[in-house]
């Protein structure tokens, strides 16, 4: 059990009530003037010791890195949706691009007709045609051992490029920028009408070609594309150059 103490009302020193005077300051002591308490006068509980501040440095670094990642992802998404390759003008390089000796003049306005039609519609009736967009393109493979016949009418100018697989990678990585394509290639200049047919023959002995139809604007194209088998006795075009 705790002891109840008496204290001098003047200086706060412990006193004995029966003593009459404070032994410390001499103040007269009486029972009516001596306060009693379990806590000495002038004593105050110590203030709570504040906790040391938590270091936020690592959190700030982590948040900064996260914001940078989000920023770059946002830029990449915007560039991709805008039709650009994210983060710079990356160009895919070809170790052995087609040279001028591996292409041939295209036979234009031939009256000969293909034996097998391979493209005359896009997910619907031929009368609906194929929708084209500005600087968009449609591609199709040129079958190995076949002559490739091109004919179309269009509401907008369309250019047809005959690329090797490697050249098409360059073209697509650069989002349709022909300046990224290295080496030589055949093409049909921009037009709204190819008739009766333009003939591409380098696929007769090479399975490395694609036909890329590039529109200058938005509109509808009506294709009439076919092939006739005409195998070459040796490799042709880029296959001959590359030795495949």
For every one of its 244 residues, what pLDDT tens digit does the chain have, with 9 covering 90 and above? Answer: 444 557 777 776 777 655 577 777 777 776 655 555 444 555 555 666 666 665 566 667 777 777 778 776 766 665 545 444 454 455 788 999 999 988 988 888 888 999 999 999 998 899 999 999 997 899 999 999 999 999 999 999 999 999 999 999 999 999 999 999 999 999 999 999 999 999 999 999 999 999 999 999 999 999 999 999 999 999 999 999 998 7
Reference 140, options 52, 200, 65, 76; nearest CA is 200
* 3-class DSSP assignment, residue 43: coil
- pLDDT for position 168: 96
Two tokens at 156? 């907008």
- pLDDT for position 123: 84
- Dihedral pair phi/psi, residue 14, rounded to 5°: -60, 140
8 Å CB contact between 239 and 164: no
8 Å CB contact between 15 and 34: yes
| Domain 100-242: CATH architecture, name and number where available | Sandwich (2.60)
- pLDDT for position 231: 97
- Residues of CATH 2.60.120 domain(s) within the chain? 100-242
- pLDDT for position 35: 54
Q: What pTM was estimated for this model as a whole?
A: 0.65
DSSP state, residue 126: G
Kindly provide the b/e burial profile for residues 112-145, where b requires at least 16 CB atoms within 10 angstroms of the residue's own CB.
eebeeebbbebeeeeeebbebeeeebbeeebbbe
């Amino acid at each position: 059990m705790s002891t109840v103490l008496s204290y001098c009302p003047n200086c706060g020193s412990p006193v004995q009530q029966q003593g009459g005077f404070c032994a410390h300051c001499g103040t007269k002591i009486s029972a009516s003037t001596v306060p009693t308490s379990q806590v000495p006068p002038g004593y105050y509980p110590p203030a709570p010791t504040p906790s040391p501040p938590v270091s936020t440095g690592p959190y700030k670094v982590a948040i900064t890195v996260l914001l940078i990642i989000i920023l770059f992802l946002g830029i990449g998404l915007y560039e991709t949706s805008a039709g650009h390759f994210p983060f710079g003008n990356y160009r895919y390089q070809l170790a052995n691009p087609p040279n001028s000796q591996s292409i041939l003049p295209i036979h234009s306005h031939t009256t000969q007709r293909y034996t097998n039609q391979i493209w005359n519609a896009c997910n619907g009736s031929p009368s609906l045609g194929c929708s084209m967009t500005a600087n968009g393109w449609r591609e199709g493979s040129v079958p190995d051992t076949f002559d490739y016949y091109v004919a179309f009418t269009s509401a907008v100018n369309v250019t047809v490029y005959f690329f090797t697989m490697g050249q098409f990678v360059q073209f697509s990585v650069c989002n349709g920028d022909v300046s990224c394509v290295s080496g030589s290639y055949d093409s049909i200049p921009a037009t709204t009408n190819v008739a009766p047919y333009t003939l591409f023959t380098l696929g007769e002995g090479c399975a490395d070609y694609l036909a890329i139809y590039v529109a200058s604007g938005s509109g509808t194209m009506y294709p009439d594309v076919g092939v006739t088998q005409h195998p070459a006795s040796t490799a042709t075009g880029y296959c001959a150059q590359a030795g495949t």
